[in-house]
Structure 1
Amino acid sequence: MSGHKQAISASYASPRPPTSQLFRHEIATVLDQEGSVANKKAYLTELRGLVTLVQAEINVFLTERMEEDKQREGGGSKDAEQEAKEEQNYGEENVEDDDDA
């Protein structure tokens, strides 16, 4: 694994409006050739922290995108409860129960 830095990355792309974003952080800890337990633990600890960092950056980015989308659509036409529900499930398919059957 010598010669190049390892990194964790995620990318986002949207056709409307055309937007792309790259989230990337290099992993400073280099796995040694012997693969000592201490070295592996340090690597995995750093990796776990970077995953959490990338996740937080993505959440901030998507929240900003949601706000921009709301502004383009004309803003607060939905009630606060519906808006909170949509924000909680943003990016996920939500199937609501139908009790009428």
Structure 2
Amino acid sequence: MAAISQLNLQAVYTAPDATKTFTHAIPAESSTDALAAKQSHLNHLQSLVPMLQDEINVFLTERMEEDKKAQGAVSEKEAKEEENYGEDVVEEDA
């Protein structure tokens, strides 16, 4: 039987001023049953992908906050839009 090399789930963020690599090791399968090994591998991937997505989202949110601070104060309209992001806002007529 051939040796199984270490596999990784990896995403790379690249910008002009930064590069960040997100990596999760995928456990090597020791099963001699090919179907069981594939199912186990896919189960590991299925659990690792959302974890990777969460890490990327946290990183990108931090980058956005840093960019905002670098740009200075946010206008009142932009602040209100950010506060209500993803919500249905009904404008009331006065």
Q: Indicate the TM-score class for this superposition, using the shorter chain for normalisation.
A: 0.7 to 0.9
TM-score w.r.t. the length of structure 1 is 0.69
Aligned counterpart, 2:62 = 64
For the aligned residues, what is the CA RMSD? 2.3
Aligned counterpart, 2:43 = 45
Tell me which structure has the larger Cα radius of gyration. Answer: 2
Q: 1:31, CA displacement in angstroms?
A: 6.5
Among 54, 63, 72, the alignment partner of 2:52 is 54
Q: 1:43, CA displacement in angstroms?
A: 1.3
Letter in 1 for 2:24: H
Aligned counterpart, 1:19 = 18
Q: Quick one: structure 1 residues 6 and 58, their matched pair in 2 at CA, closer, same or farther if it must change by over 3 Å?
A: same
Letter in 2 for 1:70: K
Report how many residues are paired.
83
Q: 1:73, CA displacement in angstroms?
A: 0.3
Aligned counterpart, 1:6 = 7
TM-score w.r.t. the length of structure 2 is 0.73
Q: Identity of paired residues, percent? A: 37
Unaligned runs of 5+ in 1: 89-101
Q: Distance in 1 between matches of 2:44 and 2:71?
A: 41
Q: 1:29, 1:42 within 8 Å by CA — same for their partners in 2?
A: no
Q: 1:32, CA displacement in angstroms?
A: 4.3
Q: 1:33, CA displacement in angstroms?
A: 5.1
